[in-house]
């Protein structure tokens, strides 16, 4: 039997094939249905799920005990959500934007130094699994919002400079994409807020002296505030889909670039 890392490695190979397919979709101006890419991501998701299941059964808990597992879980939430919404043909092109992100996350997660078998956190029961699942699902929603943001910016660019390609493109309208971005970000904010709301109960069990001094806790609160301000600004002061799209892309780039560093600095998450 293959190990969980082997299953995940095979999934990353399919993410790479899907990312390569994305290049041809871009070259063709999004004129053809990307059902082959959908099938590639479906196959990758099956292997990815097997990897998650094997690691989870070996730990007898939600597999989020180190950076490898957390990154693997976050990528899984993105591909799983994409497979659901990709059933709508007009949004199936999200795969062309999601695949490179999944490939980058997968390659990063496979770095040996990230899969350290350290001591388990002191939390017990299913509350910690719910806490982590909600937060990582939130990151998945932010990732899909970022992909929709890139779709929006691509469509807007074509409307301005390549009018013919915009007319024959099968991408959704920029108005529809603006709604999609907003819904993904709202979902992410609600999930992240729900996950953070469970933190006091978990920290009480862990008997942490000053949780607000923990870098990961402060970082999570900052991410929640960042996306909340982005949504409120969009609704009340700057109802521009372009600014919302750029905010979604920039926000998720910040999460990707800083998550691992603050996670390593956290004593709560690295007892």
pLDDT tens profile 11-46: 999 999 999 988 887 776 666 666 788 899 999 999
pLDDT at 40: 92
How many beta carbons lie within 10 A of that of residue 158, not counting itself? 20
71-80, 198-207, 259-268: which is most confident? 71-80
pLDDT at 263: 77
pLDDT in tens, 153-208: 888 877 776 655 554 455 667 788 888 899 999 999 999 999 888 877 766 655 55
Could you give the CA distance from residue 186 to residue 255 in angstroms, rounded to a whole number?
16
The pLDDT confidence band at residue 111, using thresholds 50, 70 and 90, is: confident
Nearest to 43 by CA among 24, 15, 19, 22: 15
Instruction: Tell me the helix, strand and coil percentages in the chain, rounded to 5.
Output: 80, 0, 20
This model's pTM is above 0.85 = no
């Amino acid at each position: 039997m293959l190990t969980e890392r082997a299953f995940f490695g095979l999934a990353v190979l399919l993410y790479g094939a899907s990312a390569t397919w994305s290049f041809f979709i871009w070259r063709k101006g999004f004129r053809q249905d990307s059902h082959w890419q959908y099938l590639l991501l479906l196959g990758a998701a099956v292997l990815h799920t097997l990897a998650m299941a094997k690691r989870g059964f070996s730990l007898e808990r939600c597999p989020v005990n180190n950076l490898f597992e957390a990154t693997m879980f976050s990528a899984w939430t993105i591909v799983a959500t994409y497979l659901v919404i990709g059933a709508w043909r007009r949004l199936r092109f999200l795969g062309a934007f999601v695949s490179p992100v999944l490939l980058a996350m997968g390659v990063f997660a496979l770095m040996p130094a990230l899969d350290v078998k350290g001591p388990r956190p002191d939390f017990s029961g299913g509350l910690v699994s719910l806490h982590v699942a909600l937060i990582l699902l939130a990151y998945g929603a932010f990732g899909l919002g970022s992909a929709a943001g890139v779709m929006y910016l691509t469509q807007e660019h074509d409307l301005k400079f390549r009018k013919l390609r915009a007319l024959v493109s099968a991408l959704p309208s920029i108005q529809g994409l603006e709604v999609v971005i907003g819904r993904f970000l709202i979902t992410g904010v609600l999930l992240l807020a729900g996950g953070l709301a469970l933190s006091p109960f978990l920290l009480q069990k862990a008997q942490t002296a000053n949780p607000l001094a923990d870098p990961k806790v402060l970082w999570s609160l900052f991410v929640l505030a960042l996306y909340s301000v982005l949504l409120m600004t969009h609704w009340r002061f700057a109802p521009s889909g372009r600014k919302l799209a750029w905010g979604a892309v920039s926000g998720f780039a910040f999460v990707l670039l800083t998550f691992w560093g603050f996670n390593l600095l956290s004593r709560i998450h690295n007892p």
